[in-house]
A and B are shown apart, each in its own frame.
Chain A
Amino acid sequence: MNIDFLQIVMVLGTLTCVLGVIFCVRTARTRFDQVEAPNKEVNLGIVRVPPLTFAKLLAFASLIVLPAGAVFLANYHTFEGVHEVRGCASCHIMLPMVNDMQDPMSGTLAARHYKNRWIAENQCYHCHSDYGLGGNLEAKMTGFRHLARYTTRTYHEPIQARVRFDNKNCLNCHAGTPRFEAVQSHKTAHERLISNQMICLNCHGQPHPTSVQRTPGSNDYARLTEKMK
């Protein structure tokens, strides 16, 4: 049986949430000033505690420990979920990028990486890795802004990238490879590429469909926004 981390997180998360709800219901029904006399001790398996201590421990677990566990597990779930192409495609606004990338007839940079298997899996995340757990605070805030704007539908198609794409996302894989080093212009522009004064796309073409193609009503819009199979 092949069990991955995500399944373990789902099981642990479910356990944490169910336990949390049960403990919270118990805590909500407890009147701490009317808990029974200390002569009726509660057996916790390894120790016997007075009922008031037990009620306080339960409150601590239900309002501090279990919420912390649930938040940790759900955030892990979030950061793992953003790795998958399916995770990106779950927002329909990203479908043009994903559909184009998986289109063997497309010549965009993303499609060329995909069809040539230059990136084996989690293709979106590999080129936008500053979006995930390892990314900087700015990328995290961008993620929250995207989520808020998507779910409140306060966005306009075609969407425009506000942040500048960090060349490090390309250089992480390409820098130092014989094919990369063999190109003279990479050496000439090295400093400007490292400092993001010049972007890789200046020479390497369109990464995704153009904003004209992604505009509702365009010839390509229906094809690009088809649901992922």
Chain B
Amino acid sequence: MRLLRWEAFCAILGFVLTQVFILVPGPYPMALFTFVAQPLFAIAAIGYLSKVIANLRRHRDL
């Protein structure tokens, strides 16, 4: 595992959209949170976990 750059950027965007929804709840922020922020968090988590698993396999820990 060398870098987690794009995963971190996905999560940052997710956090920003979530923050907007929490502070200014309304249909549009809610849609952004539901249909953009949550999938971005999921993509970041999947990217991170796949790199961790690949790293563990490379070091023969798995």
A residues sitting closer than 8 Å to B (CB atoms) are 9-10, 13-14, 16-18, 20-21, 24-25, 27-28, 30-33, 59-60, 62-64, 66-68, 70-71, 73-74, 77-78, 81, 87, 90-91, 144, 147-148, 150-151
- Evaluate contact between A28 and B14: CB separation under 8 angstroms: no
> Beyond the given A67-B11, A70-B15, could you list 16 further A-B residue pairs with CB under 8 A, ordered by the A residue number?
A10-B22, A13-B18, A17-B16, A18-B19, A25-B8, A28-B12, A31-B3, A60-B48, A66-B11, A70-B14, A71-B38, A73-B22, A78-B25, A78-B34, A87-B25, A148-B35
Known: A63-B48, A151-B28. A33 touches B16 (CB 8 A): no
**Contact assessment for B45 and A21 in the assembled complex, using a CB-CB cutoff below 8 Å:** no
* Cross-chain contact A74 with B16 (CB below 8 angstroms): no
Contact of A9 with B22 at beta-carbon distance under 8 Å, contacts A32-B2, A148-B35 already known? yes
For B14, give the chain A residue with the smallest CB separation.
A67
Nearest Cβ on chain B to A218's Cβ, whole angstroms? 24
Given A144-B34, A151-B28, do A14 and B44 touch, yes or no (CB 8 Å)? Answer: no
- How far in angstroms is the closest Cβ of chain B from A111? 24
Inter-chain contact count A-B, CB under 8 Å? 111
B 23-62 binary contact with A (CB < 8 Å = 1; else 0): 1011110110111011001001100110000000000000
A81 touches B25 (CB 8 A): yes
Is A63 a contact of B14 with CB atoms below 8 Å? no
In the complex, the answer to whether B45 meets A62 with C-beta atoms within 8 Å is: no
30 contacts between A and B (CB under 8 A): A9-B22, A14-B19, A14-B23, A17-B15, A17-B22, A24-B12, A25-B12, A27-B8, A28-B5, A30-B3, A30-B4, A31-B3, A33-B1, A60-B48, A63-B44, A64-B49, A66-B11, A67-B41, A67-B44, A70-B41, A71-B38, A74-B22, A74-B37, A77-B22, A78-B33, A91-B27, A144-B34, A147-B34, A147-B35, A151-B28
Decide if A62 touches B11 in the complex (CB within 8 Å). Answer: yes
- Chain A hits for B38, CB < 8 A: 71
- CA–CA, A63 to B1, complex, Å? 14
A contact patch SS: helix
Q: Which residues of B contact A (CB under 8 A)?
A: 1-5, 7-9, 11-12, 14-16, 18-19, 21-23, 25-28, 30-31, 33-35, 37-38, 41, 44-45, 48-49
**CA distance in complex: A161, B22 (Å):** 29
Partner of B33 from the list A10, A20, A32, A74 (CB cut-off 8 Å) is A74
Are A67 and B27 in touch, CB under 8 angstroms?
no
For A148, list chain B residues within 8 Å (CB): 31, 35
A83 CA to B8 CA, complexed, in Å: 34
The docked-state distance in angstroms from the alpha carbon of A10 to that of B19 is 9
